[in-house]
Amino acid sequence: MIKLFNGGDILKVKKFVSQSFGRVDENYIKNSLHSIEGVKAVRLDDSANTITVEYDDSKVSPSTLESELKKNNFL
């Protein structure tokens, strides 16, 4: 886990390894994660099958992010 400083906020970064996903899934994943309070950015790398999330850990936990991805069958 990495910490980033964003305009005074300390953000953490969590990378998840996913099953493969397509273009439609990319939008769904991003929208799903962005709907969670505290998520600041979502990056997807389809060649490495990774989902990287920048988040405020005072508002959301890594387990919540993981649960959201599992709920939608992306982990």
Amino acid 6: pLDDT: 59
Beta strands (DSSP E) in 1-75 are 2-6, 9-17, 39-45, 50-55
DSSP state of 72: T
Give the pLDDT confidence of 20-74 residue by residue, as tens digits.
777 778 899 999 999 999 999 999 998 899 999 999 999 999 999 999 999 988 8
- Mean pLDDT: which of 1-5, 7-11, 14-18 is highest? 14-18
Structural domain including 29 reads: 2-69
Q: Using the predicted structure, report yes or no on whether residue 1 has a pLDDT greater than 60.
A: no
75 within a domain of the structure (yes/no): no
Q: Token pair 């993981």 is at which residue?
A: 66
pTM for this predicted structure: 0.84
60 within a domain of the structure (yes/no): yes
Q: Which amino acid is at 24?
A: V
Q: How far apart are the first and last CA of the chain?
A: 18
Q: How far apart are CA 12 and CA 27, in angstroms?
A: 22
**How many domains is the chain built from?**
1
* Helices 62-71 and 23-34, packing angle to 10 deg: 140
CATH number at residue 37: 3.30.70.100
